[in-house]
Structure 1
């Protein structure tokens, strides 16, 4: 079974990802890595971000290495020579830009994978990067002590309101209470914090992803000061 690997830079109009470079943003290009077996339904397509425009080139290199390793995951991209052509293997990944400033980027890495069975699976990962350090921030990096617990209550209330229920289990969720872990998927915009739950995380696959947006004004008392996405 012959294997074809492709590695290239694909240059889209940056506005397609809401990341057109201005004096207040960095450049985010889209790069491509893919492969396919000629005689089967086995392939992968990965579109991943590549940043430029930072004054600190050491941090820029570190961030690009981190993003490359996060998107081009060797554990997900199987040896296509060993792929079962009867069931096939499909892996598609890309990204969206939620926020892009000189100090901070918030990226969503989304994927779809199928390796046999009744259906494939999909989901998203978050990359919230402080561009002064290159660190990928977790929820606990944003909130004062007890703040994540307060956020959990707000997210639970918003889900109850969205589904018009008093208890989340009435709408099909696994539990009535939302308890956000430190590694919870989240994104940041100019005005909100978006919490994303992937399929099977808090509800069955059939309910899909659950996205809850919380205004930054609503949680400002719980946030730490001088966060990289806050106005200076």
Structure 2
């Protein structure tokens, strides 16, 4: 009996260790360089199953690089985040050389957070603020969704098994959100889903960035649809 209990204990420990190794966890990482003076980046880094974590981290890294890139060919050059930070600083140095009389100081800040994590799906939000001149800075929030089992990025239409029904429900919530403020939106009667759809602890989040459906002064438009109303239409929970 003692041998059996001992064997069971060993098996339990082994399986527990394997589960810990495959579970995806996140820690925050600040990224900068020796040259950097104007860029601040704080993003979540996935750890655990190597393949899954690498897929997630690669997608987050690509989104960060894209957020501060000036060179449209940069993605093909496979820049790192550090190289992109230095490129941003170099662009500012060149700007100051060409326009020494300008008092404008450039800046960029990117912050990432885990919106939602389950055994099926992981949602990450990246908030990017940059200012390279103009009347005001530019604030953009991006949602990144991942299959928790593979780490592969998920497109919005992969989140639902019935996009048409989901859109109909979302339209109702959108109309409630902008009720009394319709005049501030571009063609509110022609509803379109936002580029950013993600998950939080209470439901599915829809977010429209500045200029996406309204002028800059209107700001971001965001609302959440409770899971209870969407269970029949969700591919991931």
**Could you state the TM-score of these two structures normalised by the residue count of structure 1?**
0.73
Structure of higher CA gyration radius: 2
Structure 1, unmatched stretches of 5+, are 1-22
Q: Pairwise mapping of residues 83-232 of structure 1 onto structure 2 (< 5 A)? A: 83-84=95-96, 86=102, 87-144=104-161, 147-165=162-180, 169-170=182-183, 172-176=184-188, 177-180=190-193, 184-224=195-235, 227=236, 230=237
State the 1:46 CA deviation.
Answer: 1.2
Alpha-carbon distance in structure 2 between the residues aligned to 1:62 and 1:163: 37
Q: Give SS of 1:143's match.
A: coil
Higher helix proportion, which one?
2
- Partner SS, residue 83 of structure 1: helix
Query: C-alpha displacement at 1:159, in angstroms?
Result: 2.8
User: How many residue pairs get matched?
Assistant: 193
- Hey, what's the Cα distance between the residues in 2 that align with 1:198 and 1:152? 18
1:58-104 deviation per Cα after TM superposition (whole angstroms, max 9, x unaligned) = 22222222222222335155224323362221111101221123543
CA contact (8 A) 1:126 1:185 kept: yes
**1: CA distance between counterparts of 2:221 and 2:233?**
23
Local SS of the residue matching 2:110: strand
- Shift in alpha-carbon separation, 1:36–1:196, aligned structure 2, 3 A: farther
The structure that is strand-richer by fraction is 1
Superposed CA RMSD: 2.7
Structure 2: unaligned runs, 5 residues or longer: 1-19, 71-84
Equivalent in 10, 25, 43 of residue 48 of structure 1:
43
Residues 44, 113 of structure 2: 8 Å contact kept: no
